[in-house]
Structure 1
């Protein structure tokens, strides 16, 4: 996600942010049979899709492709949700693009990889179920068995034209944990949307194609329609929704089903604090993603899962404090002569590794001090690193960002970094660098520089993961054995950016079955109620399986929910 590729304006962000969850009564209402028949419905269709991002629009496509009439209700005043400002990639096992390229992706390897990284505490390499809970295994099996079919269908119909995502050196993309044995060195699962000219595109191209597809086939999309209540009949079947609109409350009837693809709860501070294990401060999700479905689904007896997890991503601290829905998170820590350190002046990870795993480092807890030692982090780079590009590393010819600290010496840098934390105290509280920060930082840089000279980072394996090479070009290689490391200069200027924990969006909510149906606390489907995407309990558990992991699952199960709903009596 980058501000350059986003089609969602800052004005629209701020306007959508006014849709606070606390201002609206959200829940569910039961209508008797006579009342349902006599209700003056504002519209009646077969299927209602709530939201207009990739998961919701895929649900609309699945319903339309199977003969259903569709209405799409969007809370914000723009179409596309978080998908519209994303890179638009989708992680698709055994995709038709992989098959055409002769890339093997067998089912057992896929399931073993997913189990290993999604639920590492459960993974059992000797078990026929890989140690997984039955529903999660079933969903991952369903994903493998159907994702390629769904994406090929969407590609062929023109609803979502795609291509295989390639790295900077024209190689099929690696998975985010491609270095572990269970991955099987599989490449090519990530797909990208195509733009108007058939070239590799972005999330707004995906939305553009899907929107055109559903509207050309009779679907209506209504923005500024915030769904606030699930409507049921006396049997418990979901028969429609109530929405808050600029014209007042309206009720819409769904003869076959309601599909929620309304996103997660990243922009709901109370839910973030209550549910998430990582201290998330905000993130890329659009302001409308406030967890409305969790409140509604609670009243219809839905079962919930994975509420403690998110699609993690680092964010620039001062940006997320200014506005919790940031234009872009920190996908890359650029430059070769650069490191990230904590308040003790010590490194924590491979700085070139994928964003969700770097973000997870913020949740490390020290039981002795009762604090998070990595809660806020400092990304440090020298002047030479600016020549080698990448996120947060300006070019030589441009001014540094307002969120970047510049100093001529490391002593001055430490003082200025502490001053920046002090200036934020009214929002983050007192946050002090350790008294040994400067001494440790000098030792850390000396140790790192030794790794750069030898090309081997024995602490964190920088540059060794396949995903490192996928995301970071080595074309501007300096004369060092590892193109992703160069020594940090003995002289300034030095630069620093403060980092916090954020998310692309959360990934917990109602549990669903292989048809996309929301299940109750007894694991029985709630008739007429479906969910997909970040509004749901993701079967990917703790992990970000590969580039496009969120949309791959969301689109697949969204489309299948539409198929299933359309087939109902």
Structure 2
């Protein structure tokens, strides 16, 4: 029996549906189910709610809170047995220009600059990122932040975290990203066991803009003692007091879940979307599979799809994306299989940007189910990325989304999937590499083939099947540029974002250092992702748009279920969750306003 959040007895009893009388059986029409006013009365639906929310990630959980604030009754369905979606797997940031949390911390920002930044960064990619949607996002983002704080959510301003393109007009060197304050998991009570957790995400309760510095603990005594002080204040003392401190994506999902617990939100776990119900051209609910039984849920006010994209759906990725893409390289939650996107398409919803994803380079350890996010390593000195010819093909320290695009573009000419990250012993002594702590490269990692090791650059090239002359020539040229501090080929280390993950003790450029001290190391780098970027087309009110160009009444969507307002680009940390939360907020507001007229 699934347990719902409500303590009111009628809402805690599992729905039992007998197949002979199930309204879902009445609705069947081939592979689609419909609910027609002249055939089935609303009372014949198995359950009724005001707003049906598909997906329990951050967008869905925050939408439920907004529904409560409007006096509406929300019901969340979650495909998995645990709550949190890909939000719980993420870094937990929201990119929200002009938010009051950052302004209170001294950040000076305005929406005009942010809009100029987005316009220049994204360009014209069609209706998915229309001017109306960009403006709606920027205007409502700060309102969302204030609303959640008023509900009891505790924010943290990442004042030091730069936009990913701070050199573009309107870009900033820090302050537009926010994340959750430290949350005590004990507050969830019995629901802690039902919270999704990323097995490869660090358990250290650090904020997003602390990560870069904490990973440098082997670079100096001061950096080491910074880590010690952090461990004492953020881990040891809280646990001595009986607390379970949590941050990042898991902390974000946990805090939102806690607020929903307080409001007795109904959440049905192990409940997947089968199809949408229509009545006279409007979406009025959905058929869902709950514990192996198909039941129908009628939504009086609207249906909001926040179930993620199709990153874990191999067939959809092969159909819409380039052949080199592999769903096993994705870092999203296992439930991200495109159910909501498919359901929308079945009733005629338009789609956009289906070929794209939120790309991010990953290391794939043979014993790990999920890849290791390569973030700081490729920005640090004494390392490069090369293709099979042994040549660099991009700025290693650039935004992970841009790196993914550039890796695929290079692969169209030269084998670059996977690429290779090359580092020397100076790098290994001081920095993390492929998830391994500095100074520790287990023999098992080498014997398994995960890490390649050699005493010379030429020998390393042969071991990784890369052109030896090409790699040697690349390393020699890179070393010359590293000593001058200027990357003449790709400009590595030339802006605040790239410097953020560099080593400030390395001069004259914190992102450049020669590769010259043996032994040398290499690891494969794959173009992974943190979700697909294409999906259902929505307008500035988060309404799903039909192929005829008109909104589908009663159907809304947000997050990776939709084609991103960011187009093919990524503005800063939280460029996924920021729009997801904001458009979910916009959707519920529109549902309320529409039904109140």
Q: Distance in 2 between matches of 1:563 and 1:199?
A: 33
The corresponding residue for 2:96 is 92
**1:505 is aligned to 2:536:** no
Aligned 8 A contact 2:364 2:370 in 1: no
* Higher mean C-alpha deviation, range 75-84 or range 52-61: 52-61
Paired residues for 1:513-552 under 5 Å: 513-552=539-578
The corresponding residue for 1:424 is none
Paired residues for 1:390-469 under 5 Å: 390-392=432-434, 394-399=437-442, 401=445, 402=448, 403-418=450-465, 433=466, 437-469=467-499
Q: Distance in 2 between matches of 1:229 and 1:133?
A: 25
- Identify which of 168, 175, 188 aligns with 2:163: 175
The corresponding residue for 2:402 is 357
Aligned 8 A contact 1:76 1:224 in 2: yes
- Identify which of 144, 152, 157 aligns with 1:150: 144
**1:339 is aligned to 2:384:** yes
The corresponding residue for 1:213 is 259
- Name the SS for the 2:361 alignment partner: strand
Q: Distance in 1 between matches of 2:453 and 2:31?
A: 50
Distance 1:84 1:27, change over 3 A: farther
Aligned 8 A contact 2:105 2:157 in 1: no
**1:251 is aligned to 2:296:** yes
Q: Distance in 2 between matches of 1:161 and 1:60?
A: 17
Gaps of 5+ in 1: 1-24, 124-131, 167-171, 419-432
Please give the TM-score of this superposition, normalised by the length of structure 2: 0.79
Q: Distance in 2 between matches of 1:497 and 1:452?
A: 21
Aligned-pair CA distance for 1:199 = 7.7
**1:195 is aligned to 2:195:** no
For each residue in 1:262-286, what CA deviation from the matched residue of structure 2 results, as whole angstroms up to 9, or x when unmatched?
Answer: 0011111222222235843231111
Q: Distance in 2 between matches of 1:365 and 1:340?
A: 12
Q: Distance in 2 between matches of 1:562 and 1:495?
A: 51
Aligned-pair CA distance for 1:348 = 1.5
Aligned 8 A contact 2:173 2:497 in 1: no
Aligned 8 A contact 2:128 2:564 in 1: no
Gaps of 5+ in 2: 1-28, 185-204, 208-246
Please give the TM-score of this superposition, normalised by the length of structure 1: 0.83
Aligned 8 A contact 1:26 1:296 in 2: no
Aligned 8 A contact 1:70 1:218 in 2: no
For each residue in 1:398-454, what CA deviation from the matched residue of structure 2 results, as whole angstroms up to 9, or x when unmatched?
Answer: 526351111222233223213xxxxxxxxxxxxxx4xxx100111111111111111
The corresponding residue for 2:283 is 238
Aligned-pair CA distance for 1:377 = 0.5
Q: Distance in 1 between matches of 2:372 and 2:34?
A: 41
Q: Distance in 1 between matches of 2:30 and 2:579?
A: 27
Number of aligned residues: 500
Aligned 8 A contact 2:128 2:352 in 1: no
The corresponding residue for 1:288 is 335
Distance 1:240 1:94, change over 3 A: same
**1:381 is aligned to 2:453:** no
For each residue in 1:183-241, what CA deviation from the matched residue of structure 2 results, as whole angstroms up to 9, or x when unmatched?
Answer: 344531000111226984211111111112123212111111011110111x1111111
The corresponding residue for 1:165 is 158
Aligned-pair CA distance for 1:243 = 1.2
Aligned 8 A contact 1:331 1:391 in 2: no
